[in-house]
Amino acid sequence: MAKTELRLKYKSPGTNLGLRIIAPMMHVMIFFVILALFAILVALRQGAVALLTASILFFVLLGIASLLTFLAIRYTDPFILLDRDGISLPTLLGGTIRRQANLEWTKLRKVDTYGREGQPQPIVALFFQDHAPLQLNTLYLEANDIDQLVVALEVWGSHAEGVANLRLLKSDDRTTSGATSSGALSYTQLWQDELRRRFTATNFVPLEPGARLQGAHLTITRQLSFGGMSATYQASTADGQSVVLKESVVVGKIDEPATKKARELFARETEILSKLHHEKLARVLDHFVENDRDYLMLEYIPGTNLRQLVIERGPQTEENVIAWALQIADVLEFLHTQDPPVTHRDLTPDNLILTDNAEIKVIDFGAAKQFLGTATGTMIGKQAYVPPEQLRGKSVPASDFYALGCTMYFLLTGCDPYPLKTSDARAKNPSISNEMNSLVLQLTQMEPQDRIIDCSELRQRLINCSAEQNRNIDIADVLQMRSDRKQL
């Protein structure tokens, strides 16, 4: 399948300068280089001095022409190229002379807009991992190209924070169904092209934005993630409430009795989960089957998940990790003291949301993954956070403590732990305290009975970590004071 590519013309002042001044100068210099070359041919008959002078003149003019050629290429290429892999920048915006500055969509973390004083149109800032923010001034883009930029970000960069807010930039007189007046791709066309590319190899095609479920009670507003035979969407109800939909699809030649049994277990577990009410736990609102697809509806929690936070800001301080782990311990205690005990089974950085008021919210139970795993006989989920007993199909409350230890390892080091291995955080980050490292080691023991399996003990160990950290800070202060006295 041919790759869809969008070309946005970015008419910055630098580009205009190149088009109006540098390019004509380059042509003039090429003319003089040709004259200098002719002068060399003439000087061959005039002696060594004339030949040397003509040669020096030729190479000086050739160097100037080469410089102008470089500047012309740098400042007269106005096109930003976008495709399903990422963004290719002209040299003016940070690319090289060969346009090698390709920013991959998978590394896009955040999109933001802001204004400048006296400027009517905003700047779109794209934050990529391991790259300086790319700032695109919409003043230098045609209205249709602004629409195309928004479309590309909604389709290819939908996972990034802040993408939904870009719709405000789109022209009011354009729709998302059909081609635009200039013949450029519309949102629906581009999205359908992307769906065909991603899912031609399977029978599973996710829902498009605008799709409706349950008799138009639910409307898909955006796709949050895809993977295998599942997708996650943000949706809105008829009364305007935002919710999250987890879609699970069993495709291919799957044993019907196994699918039926898995669906029964899924419905039964969803009923149990829907009765759980805790201030730090996203509520399970509903479960339904439509067009042979299973849906789990969850409360939408605005905020940043901890994986995205670490990607943007790096490993976190022990103080932060302790504060967050104490909040998670409250949720685990609530779940594990139910009758019968409830295990989350998917406690990863992706499923922990940090809200604007610094509270942790736990979302997205492992029920949907368990359903797919039971129906297909395939392990579904991020194995780096799954303990051995859960891989064998038997999760217990201690499984959540293992996942918590792996999550703490990630928060402290910025790296996912190795699957099926006790996590030694100090081996990755030597600055981690002994007490904290000991806690992570014990939480991630291979056998459930060797782990911490009691929330009260977990809280006490976290308090001990905090106390050790404070002692280290006090000692550092004393040493600094002694050093200051010696200098005096």
Structure confidence by residue, pLDDT tens digits, 219-238: 998 887 766 567 788 999 99
Residue pair 193/208 in contact by the 8 Å Cβ criterion: no
Residues 288 and 427 occupy one common structural domain: no
Q: What is the DSSP letter of 161?
A: B
* 340: preceding bond cis by omega (within 30 degrees): yes
CATH of the domain at 261: 3.30.200.20
pLDDT number for residue 441: 97
Confirm whether 202 is domain-assigned.
no
Q: Which of 279-283, 304-308, 444-448, 469-473 has the lowest mean pLDDT?
A: 469-473
pLDDT number for residue 70: 62
Per-residue pLDDT at 105 exceeds 90: no
Confirm whether 292 is domain-assigned.
yes
Confirm whether 166 is domain-assigned.
no
Confirm whether 38 is domain-assigned.
no
pLDDT number for residue 394: 81
Confidence band, pLDDT 50/70/90 cuts, at residue 180: very low
What are 461-472's pLDDT values in tens digits?
Answer: 999 998 877 766
Give the range with max mean pLDDT: 110-114, 278-282, 287-291. 278-282
**Which residue, of 232, 266, 299, is where some domain finishes?**
299
Q: Determine how β-strand 134-137 pairs with β-strand 123-128.
A: antiparallel
pLDDT number for residue 261: 66
Confirm whether 395 is domain-assigned.
yes
Residues 406 and 444 occupy one common structural domain: yes
Q: Which of 9-13, 33-37, 149-153, 186-190 has the lowest mean pLDDT?
A: 186-190
Q: Which residues contact 382 (CB under 8 A, 6 or more apart)?
A: 348, 350, 416
Q: Which of 185-194, 210-219, 370-379, 396-405 has the lowest mean pLDDT?
A: 370-379
pLDDT number for residue 18: 54
What are 354-394's pLDDT values in tens digits?
Answer: 998 889 999 877 654 554 444 444 444 467 888 888 877 78
Confirm whether 407 is domain-assigned.
yes
Note down the domain range covering 246: 207-299
Residues 226 and 347 occupy one common structural domain: no
Residues 311 and 293 occupy one common structural domain: no
Residues 397 and 446 occupy one common structural domain: yes
What does the pLDDT average to over 301-315? 90
Number of independent structural domains in the chain: 2
Confirm whether 117 is domain-assigned.
no
What are 136-178's pLDDT values in tens digits?
Answer: 888 888 877 887 788 788 777 777 777 766 655 655 433 333 3
Q: What is the DSSP letter of 281?
A: B
Residues 324 and 276 occupy one common structural domain: no
Give the range with max mean pLDDT: 111-125, 147-161, 336-350, 467-481. 336-350
From the list 115, 192, 148, 153, the residue with the least C-alpha distance to 6 is 148
Percent of the chain clearing pLDDT 70 (strictly above): 64
What does the pLDDT average to over 7-31? 65
**Which residue, of 272, 299, 326, is where some domain finishes?**
299
Residues 311 and 430 occupy one common structural domain: yes
Confidence band, pLDDT 50/70/90 cuts, at residue 69: low
Residues 315 and 377 occupy one common structural domain: yes
pTM: 0.57
Residues 289 and 337 occupy one common structural domain: no
Residues 328 and 361 occupy one common structural domain: yes
What does the pLDDT average to over 4-28? 65
What does the pLDDT average to over 55-78? 65
pLDDT number for residue 42: 67
Confirm whether 61 is domain-assigned.
no
Round to whole Å and give the CA distance between 61 and 66.
9
Residues 341 and 421 occupy one common structural domain: yes
b/e per residue, 210-249, with b = 16+ CB within 10 A?
eeebeeeebbbbebeebeebbbbbbbeeeeeeebbbbbbb
Q: Which of 58-72, 397-411, 439-453 has the lowest mean pLDDT?
A: 58-72
Torsion of CA 66, 70, 73, 74, to 10 degrees: -160
Give the tokens for residue 441.
């080691």
Residues 242 and 354 occupy one common structural domain: no
What are 242-282's pLDDT values in tens digits?
Answer: 999 888 776 544 556 666 766 776 777 777 788 889 999 98
CATH of the domain at 321: 1.10.510.10
